[in-house]
Structures are given as C-alpha cells and as structure tokens.
Amino acid sequence: MVARFLALGVAFLLAACGSAEETGEAAAGEPVTVSGPAIDVLAFGDSLFAGYRLDRDESYPAKLQDALRARGLNVTITNAGVSGDTTAAGLQRIDFVLDSMAGQPDLVLVELGANDMLRGLPAGQARENLDAILRTLDQRGIPVMVYGMRAAPNLGGDYGRNFDAIFPELAEKYDAGLVPFFIEPLIFDRSLVQQDQLHPTAEGVDAMVDKTVEQIEERIEAL
C-alpha cells in the first residue's frame, strides 16, 4: 500500500543494530572509531522501514545504523517495521514491541500513516492512533522522531490539509523531532524504485538515508 503512494506523489510534488568502542567504516572506506555510550534506537513503522523485497541489511533502519556508525556514533537500531501496517495496527503492537525489548530504547523513530491515507481511512482516525502511540512513548519517557507523510493529491484538498498537518502538530505536541517527507528522493528519481515501480531499491534506501541521517545524528547527540 505504501508503495502506491510513490507514484501518486510524483504528481503531487511536480504540481506543487554495540560496545563502548568499536571500529566502523566511513562512507569512503576509511576506518572510523565508534565510541561513546551505546545508543539503542527502535525503528517502528511500515514497509518503508521493513525493507520490502530487500535484504534485511538493505532496509532503511539497517542502512541508517551504518551511516550513523560511520559518523562515529555507537548506535544500534532495532527494525520493528511491518509491511502494510496502519496507525491502528501500530497502536495495537507498540506496547508489545517495547515490552519485548531487552531494555527501554533511547530513541524511537515512528513512521506510520501512509497506509491509512492510501486506504482512504479518515485523517482524524490516523491522528488519534498516532497521538495514542506518541502518548505511550511519552508516558514511558522515550524521546521520539516523527516521520512525516503527505496525502496523495487525488484525495482532495481538505483531506490533504488535514492529513499533512497530523505529523508536525503531533511532533510539536509531544516535543518530538520531525523528519519531513523522507521518500522525496524516490519521487524525483524513479531509478531508485524497484522494477514494480513501487518500492525503493537498495540505492533508493541510500538516498532516503542521505536525506535524513544528519537530522537523526543531531537528535541522538542531543539525548
């Protein structure tokens, strides 16, 4: 479902997971010292985190972890992405996922909502579910990064305004970081999409990581 959003988004845009010190690899292949306290991050989302039709190490959370460690951060990211998840499905499993972890994560990346939009579910319902997820994390004292999405243009202006506003408004409400439309690189370069013209390739995931890694790095350093 999330995948169909990529094709719809073209029209929209044109119209508008270690120890205290280890050795990593920089993007240029030079050794990097990974140091500092261990930071555990939970990536909680849908197929864009799960890595649909990609190897596990090619998923966005895996490649984001690599990019952060290449910058010297001692980060481990647990991938809790489930393809097809709506905000309601995420709400149903958030407590289970958190309780199943060995310890409380230092940061949670929340990426949900696109499947609600693609199924035409009410924007208000998506807002309520995401609000409940963020409230759960807030009550547990866990910092959050909210990944924003945008509505497809065929759903109309009112729906688009209501849906698009969910993410920045909830991020502000819960004092969370906001990661804007992180699939934007796929909209402008279709070579970054799989043969089905729907899901990102491994190179597409690289582009998504490049777009977001600095913002995640800044959030982690502020913990």
Catalytic residue list: 47, 196, 199
Collapsing DSSP to helix, strand or coil, 40 comes out as strand
Owner of token pair 């939970």 = 42
Owner of token pair 């010292």 = 33
Distance of alpha carbon 123 from alpha carbon 208, whole angstroms: 25
Q: 156 — phi, psi (to 5°)? A: 95, 160
In the chain, the N- to C-terminal Cα span, in Å, equals 34
Pairing of strands 144-147, 22-25: unpaired
Question: Residue 163: what residue type?
Answer: F
Helix, strand, coil tally for the chain in percent (to 5): 50, 20, 30
Can you state the angle between helices 157-173 and 123-139, rounded to 10 degrees?
10
Indicate the length of the chain as a whole number: 223
